[in-house]
Structure 1
Amino acid sequence: MSEAEDFARLMRALKERGGLSYGVLARRLHTSTSTLHRYCSGDALPVEFAVVDRFARACGASAAEAVDLHRAWLLADARRRAGAARPQPVPRPAPEPEPAVTAEPPAAPEPEPVPAVAVEAEQEQEPAVAVEAAVVVGPAAVAGPQARPSRYRRRAAVVAAAGLAAGAVAVALLAVTGPDPGAPSAGPGPGGGAGTRGPSGSAPAGQTPPEAGAAPPESGTGSAMGSAPPPAPEGGSATASAPSSASPPVPNPGRAPAAPLKAAVRSHVWAAGCDHAYLTERGPGSVPPPPVEADAPAWASAQRAVHAGSQIVEVTLHGTGGGAVVLEGLEVRVGARRTPPAWNVYQMSQGCGGGLTPAAFAVNLDAPRPLARPVAGNDAGSRQPAPAFPMRVSAAEPVVLRVEAATTGCDCDWSLDLRWTSPSGSGTLRIDDGGRPLRTSAASGRPVYGYALEQGRWAR
């Protein structure tokens, strides 16, 4: 059974147990009935996990069933990506037919030699013929089936001699003057065109030397134009750029090992899939209706909105190597604290709820030193144990971390540091909002608006 069929089997089992029709589930998932039917029959696969998560909640899946469904979706999605990345065979061009060789006609008798002055005058009168003669001087003209008259051969000889003389003059000038000292070299500098360094290691004029202790640029992040290989050491061969078995490359002691983890971060997770609030300076007349959870990042970016009061961040982790990785702990870093802006609060729902409260790590951003504290969850009356470190994660066993941060007194920039250990080493994985810090602001005392569906507008 393939990964996609296994995922579809789990979806059908949850749907049959939940007793909901395709139409009811499609409305709850904000998708069409035909699309949902294709998911359950194995003809299609959801592009994002948000659809799978809402499906599991709507069908009342337990925590273990949700994890199994998530694992099956990850494996099926990885198989789909691998199939899309497989290179297609390149058709070979058909061999060109060889030109037919005809018998060469007898050469015309050589006329009397023409003086050089007459040749030069003839070239001035017919420049187009001289260009044509220069074109046919190459090997293609020699291998052609027909020979040129002697008049063309004499003009070709004159043009070829002029070209050789010009090349000899250029080589002589280059040998006398030497290379241009201001020309950039093809050394291993940034962008493949940095200037050369002097014997003392200083940067050439017009360039700023790197800061002390700065790490060298990684080889995998070069410019799109590429860079030339580094120059050979003095006295060495120009082909000694590849490391040999006798002299292995020396590792950089200041560079941490690459994390054998891949993290997918969702920073706009709503409680129960519908309950959330945003803070924005725009008035209710210029704010569009609330979106669904899947469209929340684009909606919040267009409104320049900030998470109001609390924020839920969900991190899906899976290993990228063959071995397992141990997650040691989670640390909270608050980069900045500002006074909360006096903006309006917009509720995404007038009230919703469900029987599932996932276990998570709770973070109080107002604390002097915030900590990620594990909190137990509730699934329709049954208690879910609180998450606890250490955790084990691999390519076949993903882990989902849920962090709920709250504040009542600051506009905070924050991020998470996940400590990990593997057989190849240990390190820290930064979790943020696509390279930028996460941002959550207090919203107490601000005007609160809800969207009235019957009136089609925001109202207090």
Structure 2
Amino acid sequence: MGEAENFARLMRELKERAGLSYGALARRLHTSTSTLHRYCNGDALPAEFAVVDRFARACGASPAEAVDLHRAWLLADARRRAGGEPAAAPALETQAVLEPEPEPEPVVVVVVAPEPEPAAAVGSRPGPGPLPRGPWYRRRAVVVAAAGVTAGAVAVALLAAAGPELRAPRTGAGAGAGPTAPSAPGSGPASAPVPTATGAPQPTAPGGGSAPGPVPPAASPPVTATATASAPHAAPVVPLKAAVRTHVWAAGCDHAYLAERGPGSVPPPPVEADAPAWASAQRAVHAGTQIVEVTLHGTGGGAVVLEDMEVRVAARRTPPAWNVYQMSQGCGGGLTPAVFAVNLDAPRPLARPVAGNDAGKALPAPSFPLRVSAAEPVVLRVEAVTTGCDCDWSLDLRWTGPSGSGTLRIDDGGRPLRTSAATGRPVYGYALEQGRWAR
């Protein structure tokens, strides 16, 4: 049985047990009877989980049944959006690429050069794959010949000045009375890459430069010296996959966009599922409010803890003098989901938990920390508002897991999210009876 069929089966079982008709349920879900019938037959899938949540509540589902229905919807939605790809890697609007390329670990090379012939060098070589951080971090030493050190190894071998007792190897900066080897230029640690939910990691280094290549030993009398070359630590593999929706409408119908084109050049409003393509074609910007929905799945066997979410505003501009196009003349609904509210006009915006409401029943505000695993996905909903700026912004999710800890960037396909104020701009709504935009 496929994911969509399994989801439809769960919906039918809840409906039949509740003894409610399609018409009665459709009124509670603020949808049509035919649409609900297609959901239960597996011919269609709800665009967002809010409809599924209201359905479960209306049918009196237990908490365990609601979780099963939520999981089935996530898998079916991922399968639909991936076009038949395995559901383990859902792709909604943007797919996370979260596994940074491994970087070599710090390497210590000891070069012994006795009189007759070069001696062996003892050092640690990077093993395959990224190195996790934490108390379980270990290095394994291997013995290699000095002549076999390749040009790709990140190491520097330096020779100290000759002395009467320099035939014994030095194992630290304080061993013996001889001079210590100078540190290699550019050997300081570089800043770790920050993975994004929609793009590859972007590592940075101090000064913007790259680490120098290997330096061969200088010619000098036979001595023994120890040199340490520091390489950037490999970032831990991010144990999360994130699917990001940046065009989420309130109640599935209420939203507004800013566009430079006149009303005669703008096509009719789309449905929510087609909003990304419509907005891209019109070069439209979210007007006043933007809702972002992030679905997170664990990728390993253990659980990951989401510790906090930070808001980063990259740029503030004067809002453009464009027209406002309302996607609906008002649709309303009995559900106000709990969200993280963000005021982009604040000097330092924060993601503030806000409780929701479902037909008079309070929905608790979301709060950190949150637990995520492969079997327990988490959906975060963020609603950003501005009345004074054209803002570029993003979100940073701080996580901790078995492989270490890090930060996951949430943005719009590798670009910042963009929301602009629309105060005082001309507002147009689409008149269906006239087939055109009108004020």
TM exceeding 0.5: yes
Shift in Å at residue 458 of structure 1?
A: 0.5
**1:419 aligns to what?**
398
Deviating more after overlay: 54-63 vs 285-294: 54-63
Contact 2:387 2:423 (C-alpha < 8 Å) held by counterparts? yes
Question: Per the alignment, in what secondary structure is the counterpart of residue 321 of structure 2?
Answer: coil
**1:161 aligns to what?**
none
Contact 2:305 2:399 (C-alpha < 8 Å) held by counterparts? yes
**1:280 aligns to what?**
259
Contact 1:414 1:438 (C-alpha < 8 Å) held by counterparts? yes
Shift in Å at residue 215 of structure 1?
A: 8.1
Provide the C-alpha distance between the structure 2 equivalents of 1:361 and 1:199, rounded to a whole number of angstroms. 47
Aligned pair in 2 of structure 1 residues 456, 425: CA closer, same or farther (>3 Å)?
same
Are 1:70 and 2:70 counterparts? yes
Contact 1:45 1:77 (C-alpha < 8 Å) held by counterparts? no
Structure 1 or 2, whichever has the larger Rg, is 1
Shift in Å at residue 283 of structure 1?
A: 0.3
Provide the C-alpha distance between the structure 1 equivalents of 2:276 and 2:255, rounded to a whole number of angstroms. 13
Structure possessing the higher relative contact order (Cα contacts under 8 Å, 6 or more residues apart): 2
Provide the C-alpha distance between the structure 2 equivalents of 1:39 and 1:401, rounded to a whole number of angstroms. 24
**1:409 aligns to what?**
388
> Matches of residues 16-35 of structure 1 in structure 2 within 5 Å?
17=18, 19-21=21-23
Residue among 250, 268, 291 paired with 1:289:
268
Aligned pair in 2 of structure 1 residues 370, 73: CA closer, same or farther (>3 Å)?
same
> Would you say how many aligned residue pairs link Structure 1 and Structure 2?
308
AA in 2 matched with 1:7: F
Shift in Å at residue 52 of structure 1?
A: 5.6
Are 1:50 and 2:42 counterparts? no
Q: TM-score, normalised by structure 1?
A: 0.58
Shift in Å at residue 345 of structure 1?
A: 0.3
AA in 2 matched with 1:459: A
Deviating more after overlay: 63-72 vs 252-261: 63-72
Question: Per the alignment, in what secondary structure is the counterpart of residue 50 of structure 1?
Answer: coil
**2:122 aligns to what?**
none
Provide the C-alpha distance between the structure 2 equivalents of 1:342 and 1:411, rounded to a whole number of angstroms. 11
Residue among 361, 365, 371 paired with 1:386:
365
Q: Structure 2 regions of 5+ residues with no counterpart?
A: 88-149, 156-185, 201-215, 217-228
Output one character per residue of 1:131-174: Cα deviation in whole Å (capped at 9) or x when no partner: xxxxxxxxxxxxxxxxxxxxxxxxxxxxxxxxxxxxxxxxxxxx
Aligned pair in 2 of structure 1 residues 334, 198: CA closer, same or farther (>3 Å)?
closer
**1:373 aligns to what?**
352
**1:351 aligns to what?**
330
> Matches of residues 238-257 of structure 1 in structure 2 within 5 Å?
253-257=232-236
Question: Per the alignment, in what secondary structure is the counterpart of residue 47 of structure 2?
Answer: helix
RMSD (Å), alpha carbons: 4.2
Provide the C-alpha distance between the structure 2 equivalents of 1:399 and 1:423, rounded to a whole number of angstroms. 18
Aligned pair in 2 of structure 1 residues 305, 66: CA closer, same or farther (>3 Å)?
farther
Residue among 451, 456, 460 paired with 2:430:
451
Shift in Å at residue 29 of structure 1?
A: 6.9
Q: TM-score, normalised by structure 2?
A: 0.60
Output one character per residue of 1:92-130: Cα deviation in whole Å (capped at 9) or x when no partner: xxxxxxxxxxxxxxxxxxxxxxxxxxxxxxxxxxxxxxx
Q: Structure 1 regions of 5+ residues with no counterpart?
A: 87-195, 202-209, 222-233, 235-249
**1:114 aligns to what?**
none
Contact 1:22 1:37 (C-alpha < 8 Å) held by counterparts? no
Provide the C-alpha distance between the structure 2 equivalents of 1:403 and 1:451, rounded to a whole number of angstroms. 27
**2:244 aligns to what?**
265
- In terms of fraction of residues, the more strand-rich structure is 2
Provide the C-alpha distance between the structure 2 equivalents of 1:449 and 1:386, rounded to a whole number of angstroms. 34
Question: Per the alignment, in what secondary structure is the counterpart of residue 349 of structure 1?
Answer: coil
AA in 2 matched with 1:369: R
